[in-house]
Amino acid sequence: MGLELYLDLLSQPSQPSCAVYIFVKKNDIPLELRTVELFKGQHLNKEFFPASKNLQRVPLLKDGDFILSESVAIPIYLSANYQTADHRYPADLQAHAHIREYLGWHADCIRGTFSVPLWVQVLAPLIGVQVPKEKVECNRTTIDKELQLLEDKFLRDKPFLTSQQVTLADLMAPEELMQA
């Protein structure tokens, strides 16, 4: 069996799967896409999903016996093994380091903060949970602060986050930013 990518593009929140999917498509990486429907619990079912017991999350890549999770690790592995456009994950040490820098900051500051409004405004009311107003306001303040940092530290006067061209950093950012 060749390369297989397990993901769910329809469930919310599906941002990590979408970012990996776009990377694979834009770079014409030949692999089998396997949809795992989270809302049907298919990620918990060994018949659909080869993940280990403790890591039943999408996206997940299977390359023979090698299994890799995490939306950041998968494109990095694929770009080392397949011909991908150099500007997406450049070989140049400093350009490469700036992308890693952004991805580290993104994991710390964007992912957790920007997923809160979806839970507060959509999912919590669906299950009858009322989130205190102060917590909503605190999240909004943090979002504004992180957006300002994104502009001041990363974007500055460039069209993209770490260089003049689209990189892996730009792929990870928008879907999560759009949630807020």
Ligand X SMILES: N[C@@H](CCC(=O)N[C@@H](CS)C(=O)NCC(=O)O)C(=O)O
Residues that bind ligand X (CB under 6 A): 13-14, 16, 38, 43, 56-59, 70-71
Residue 157 CB, nearest distance to ligand X (Å)? 29
Residue 99 CB, nearest distance to ligand X (Å)? 15
Measured in residues, the chain has a length of: 180
Residue 48 CB, nearest distance to ligand X (Å)? 12
Nearer to ligand X, 101 or 175 (CB): 175
Residue 55 CB, nearest distance to ligand X (Å)? 9
Tokens of 128: 């009858």
Cβ atoms < 10 Å from Cβ of 128: 6
Instruction: Of 34, 37, 31, give the one whose Cα is nearest residue 10.
Output: 37
Cβ-based neighbours of 145, under 8 Å, separated by 6 or more: none
Q: What is the CA radius of gyration of the chain?
A: 18
Residue 164 CB, nearest distance to ligand X (Å)? 26
Nearer to ligand X, 37 or 101 (CB): 37
* Residue number closest to ligand X, CB atom: 57
Nearer to ligand X, 56 or 113 (CB): 56
103 residue type, one letter:
L
Stretch (H or E) spanning 167: none
Q: What angle do CA 131, 107, 37 make, to 5 degrees?
A: 70
Nearer to ligand X, 55 or 129 (CB): 55
Q: Which residues pair with 4 in a beta bridge?
A: 32, 62
Nearer to ligand X, 10 or 159 (CB): 10
Give CA–CA dist 87/168, Å, rounded: 9
